[in-house]
Structure 1
Amino acid sequence: MSIMSDAVPEGTADPPPATSRWRRAAEHFRAWRDGDARAMDDLVRLMTPVLWHVVRAYGVDRALAEDVVQTTWLRLVRGQDQITDAAAVSAWLTTTARREAWRAGKAQNRADATEDADLEAMLPVAASAEDEATVADGANRLWAAVQRLDERCRRLIRVVAFEERPDYKSIADDLGMPVGSIGPTRSRCLTKLRVLLGDEVGGAQAAT
């Protein structure tokens, strides 16, 4: 088994749609626990792009993000018995990645002697993973539109988009937002995103 084999964190096509992704992840995890070592490589390839989106939402740099994703997979291997239902493996992975990214970001912030512990201050100015990625045209349009959103919307969408059942309380704590505002804010952000995507499609059609 290779934890990060063939898993390119950025510059790859987006993973399958959510329902298919959760189902396939459960199948791979179940097969791995049944003794199929190759199934873990399949699970890594399927879920690593998702974990990267989640981790990068916490403002860690690429090198630290690699460590966080690696740690998440190692925690899965060591703590597999904690997952009694294989269908929960996707939620377990994304939740673990969020927690590890939050801790790593806090540690990085302290190491840089930054006094402001607010996660908003931890986001880098550098171009995001999506800006650097060369993925399918549809994914490029989507993430280009995400990058045009305000900072709070970008972060919230990246954290929530890949979770089957988001833990709003934990997300609110991580992002410094009231838990009651997560749902309405998510709805507003998605509405803005749809408008941006619609404007982009309209502009492309007018240019042809």
Structure 2
Amino acid sequence: MWEQVADAFDRWREGRAPADDLVRLMTPVLWHVARACRLEEEAARDVLQTVWLALVRRRGEIRHPRAVASWLITATRREAWHVRSATTAAATTQAQVFEDSDWEQLLPPAPAAEAVAVERGEHAALWSAVQTLPERCQRLLRVIAFDDRPDYAHLSQQLGMPVGSIGPTRGRCLDKLRLALANATTGDR
């Protein structure tokens, strides 16, 4: 095939024949090259048209007829990359204008930054206050804080206390925690 391409190019360049044979032989190859660069069909057609026009303008620069196939493939690949990067750049620079109501659909609901900051401050204060409690209270409150319905039998074994004293101990620990939090907030003023 490459010999046929070289011969068709040579005949066309010398004016002995139209470029029809050259176009017929190379267009399917160039089409695949352009489409391999992920161009849409219309953009690929434009690339091929640009490359054929460039060949018409530069046919005298190709010294060896056997080089025309490589020249066409390289020119197609470069033009396809150029078109692809220009298309990508244009798509990324186009700003889309949204109304406030559009944002509600596009963004997941989230609390305001101020609310998040306040919540984090409260969490930090709470856990700082927990750190001031006796170890037994800290362990009990951590379990209760992260488990809706703790298994009292298992908790009894972990903490080394009778099942019946877990509830009253929890109450005393919560009272100590309230006092520690109250002291922390009055101490900040």
TM-score, structure 1 as length reference: 0.44
Structure showing greater radius of gyration is: 2
Bigger relative CO (Cα 8 Å, ≥ 6 apart):
1
Bigger proportion of residues as helix: 2
